[in-house]
Amino acid sequence: MMFETLLFFAFSAVLVGAAFGVILARNPVYSALLLVLCFFNSAVIWLMLDAEFLGIVLVLVYVGAVMVLFLFVVMMLDVNLEELRKGLAGYWPIAAVVAGLMVFAILDVVVVKHLGGVSLGAAPPLPADYSNTRVLGEALFTRYAYPAQIAAVILLVASIAAIVLTLRHRPGVKPQNVGEQVRVSAKDRVRLVKMAPEKRP
């Protein structure tokens, strides 16, 4: 138990450090890579909470797909970041309000409810054959079947929207059609013509 607590603090420390790095890094590519580190550490913490499937999905979807997308977007935006940063410090009152609200919400959950008699305490021990994946699947395809369908519709809309926004066919390109190249035979290419020699030797 002691060892697990130690591990939790180690991974949380890396997580918090990497999160600070995300907002402090000057180069947005470094920010994105530090966010990948954040996701890895959150995945480990979820694993330690017996949420194996969610941890793996976090790595599979966020690290494997979403962060690649982020990197593409960061690299696609051809903006001068020094220009953009000018005057950013002037927004500090708004930032202070948002940060204050978030600190308040976290304190409300962690401190007030804890002191108000609702002990967060340790979670009840899980049965030996507990499978996070199976429990999740049962919930997802019985009680939450309708939200799952909504998720599918959202994915469909995302896919269509991406195509409508970015797909441009460029006329005039001459791509190789490998199938046609393979199917070609010598008869289609070379025509042998029988003709009499023009000049007798």
Partner 1 sequence: MLDQYLPILIFMGLAAVLGLALFTIGWFAGPRRPDAQKLSPYECGFEAFEDARMRFDVRYYLVAIIFVVFDLEIAFFFPWAVSLRETGTFGLLAMLVFALLLVVALVYDYRKGALEWD
Query: From the CB of residue 64, how many other CB atoms can be counted at a distance below 10 Å?
Result: 13
38 binds partner 1 (CB under 8 A): no
Smallest distance from the beta carbon of 132 to partner 1, in angstroms? 9
Segment lying near partner 1 (by CB under 8 A), choices 31-39, 83-91, 97-105, 154-162 = 154-162
CA 144 to chain centre: 23
Instruction: State how far the alpha carbon of 37 is from the alpha carbons of 10, 30, 59, 102, in Å.
Output: 13, 11, 10, 23
CA 136 to chain centre: 20
Query: From the CB of residue 62, how many other CB atoms can be counted at a distance below 10 Å?
Result: 19
Residues 68-127 that bind partner 1 (CB under 8 A): 68-69, 72-73, 75-76, 78
Contact pick of 170, 183, 194, 199 for partner 1 (by CB under 8 A): 170
**C-beta closer to partner 1: residue 163 or 192:** 163
- Positions touching partner 1 (CB under 8 A) are 4, 7, 47-48, 50, 52-53, 57, 60-61, 64-66, 68-69, 72-73, 75-76, 78, 130-131, 133-138, 140-142, 145, 148-149, 151-153, 155-156, 158-160, 162-163, 166-170, 173, 175
